C-alpha cells in the first residue's frame, strides 16, 4: 500500500452500514471493505439477507449481516451488542436505511407519512444513540447520515421524505455540537438521483413515451 492509500486506510475499523443490502449502502460498504474495514449491515428479512450475503461474497467481501428493524430500539441494541462481540466496537456508522413514498401530500395517509419519518429520521436517531456510547469509550467515531438532496429541496409527491431528510440534516448538526468534544464527527451527504431500486420508477417511460 502506497503512502497516499495508507492515509485513507480503514484497516482494523468496524463499519456498520444500515440498509446495505443493495444500492447506495452496498456501494459504500464495498468501498469501506476495499479500504480495509470490517463490514456489518442489517436487513429486515431473511430473504434479503440471503441475497445480500451472496452479493457480498461475489465481491470477495466477508460482511456480517444482522436481521434487524432499525426502527425498533431493542433490536438495534441487540444488533450493536452482537457486532461488538463478533467484530469489535463500531468505529463508523452510516445511517443509510430509508424509504420513499411518492404520493401527493393531500392523498397521503398519516400512517404512510409516519412510516417514512420513522425509518428515515427516527431510525438514524435510534442507531446513533446505540453506537455513540461505544465511540465515546473508544475515544473516536464517525457517523455519516444519508440526508439526500431532499434535505435542502422540496419536490412534488415527497412531502414525508423531504420532511424526514430535513430533520436528519438537523440531527446531523446536533450530533456534531453534542459529541464533538468526544472526538466524534458527524456528516451528512446529499446524493441526487442514483440508479437504485428506490429511483427505478423515475426511470420508467410513461404511457406516452415521455420520462417521469
Band (1; pLDDT cuts 50, 70, 90): low
- With CA atoms as reference, report the closest residue to 93 among 203, 207, 184, 27: 184
Q: What cell numbers appear for 108 in the block?
A: 397521503
Sign of the Cα pseudo-torsion (191, 183, 130, 35, in order): positive
Q: Do 16 and 90 meet the contact criterion of CB atoms below 8 Å apart?
A: yes
Task: Work out the average pLDDT over 121-143.
Answer: 98
Residue 65, phi then psi, degrees to nearest 5: -105, 145
pLDDT at 109 over 90: yes
- With CA atoms as reference, report the closest residue to 133 among 144, 123, 122, 141: 141
Residues belonging to the active site: 161
The pLDDT value recorded for residue 210 is 75
pLDDT at 35 over 90: yes
pLDDT at 7 over 90: no
- CB environment 12-36: b (16+ within 10 A), e (fewer): ebbbbbbbbbbbbbbebbbebbeee
**Higher per-residue pLDDT: 152 or 128:** 128
Helix (H/G/I), strand (E/B), else coil: 206: coil
Q: Do 128 and 143 meet the contact criterion of CB atoms below 8 Å apart?
A: yes
Per residue in 170-196, pLDDT (tens digit) is 999 999 999 999 999 999 999 877 777
Strand spans (E) along the chain: 14-17, 38-43, 64-67, 92-95, 141-146, 184-189
Band (152; pLDDT cuts 50, 70, 90): confident
pTM, entire model: 0.92
Sheet holding 64-67, edge to edge: 64-67, 38-43, 14-17, 92-95, 141-146, 184-189
Q: What cell numbers appear for 113 in the block?
A: 407519512
Task: Work out the average pLDDT over 36-40.
Answer: 98
pLDDT above 70 covers a percentage of the chain that reads: 97
pLDDT at 24 over 70: yes
Beta-bridge partners for 64: 40
Task: Work out the average pLDDT over 68-79.
Answer: 98
Instruction: Give domain limits for the chain.
Output: 9-203
pLDDT at 212 over 80: no
Band (155; pLDDT cuts 50, 70, 90): confident
Q: Could you tell me the CATH superfamily of domain 9-203?
A: NAD(P)-binding Rossmann-like Domain (3.40.50.720)
The CA distance from 1 to 36, in Å, is 11
The pLDDT value recorded for residue 2 is 73
Band (125; pLDDT cuts 50, 70, 90): very high
Band (137; pLDDT cuts 50, 70, 90): very high
Amino acid at each position: 500500500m502506497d503512502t497516499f492509500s495508507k492515509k485513507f486506510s480503514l484497516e482494523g475499523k468496524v463499519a456498520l452500514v444500515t440498509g446495505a443490502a443493495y444500492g447506495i449502502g452496498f456501494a459504500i460498504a464495498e468501498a469501506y471493505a476495499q479500504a480495509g474495514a470490517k463490514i456489518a449491515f442489517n436487513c429486515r428479512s431473511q430473504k434479503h439477507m440471503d441475497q445480500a450475503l451472496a452479493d457480498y461474497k461475489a465481491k470477495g467481501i466477508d460482511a456480517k449481516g444482522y436481521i434487524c428493524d432499525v426502527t425498533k430500539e431493542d433490536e438495534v441494541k441487540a444488533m450493536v451488542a452482537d457486532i461488538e462481540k463478533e467484530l469489535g466496537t463500531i468505529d463508523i456508522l452510516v445511517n443509510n436505511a430509508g424509504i420513499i413514498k411518492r404520493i401527493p401530500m393531500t392523498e397521503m395517509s398519516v400512517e404512510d407519512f409516519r412510516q417514512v419519518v420513522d425509518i428515515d429520521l427516527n431510525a438514524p436517531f435510534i442507531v446513533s444513540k446505540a453506537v455513540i456510547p461505544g465511540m465515546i469509550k473508544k475515544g473516536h467515531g464517525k457517523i455519516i447520515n444519508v440526508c439526500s438532496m431532499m434535505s435542502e429541496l422540496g419536490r412534488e409527491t415527497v412531502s414525508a421524505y423531504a420532511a424526514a431528510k430535513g430533520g436528519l440534516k438537523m440531527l446531523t448538526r446536533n450530533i456534531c455540537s453534542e459529541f464533538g468534544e468526544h472526538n466524534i464527527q458527524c456528516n451528512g451527504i446529499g446524493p441526487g438521483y442514483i440508479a437504485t431500486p428506490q429511483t427505478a420508477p423515475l426511470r420508467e417511460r410513461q404511457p406516452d413515451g415521455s420520462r417521469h
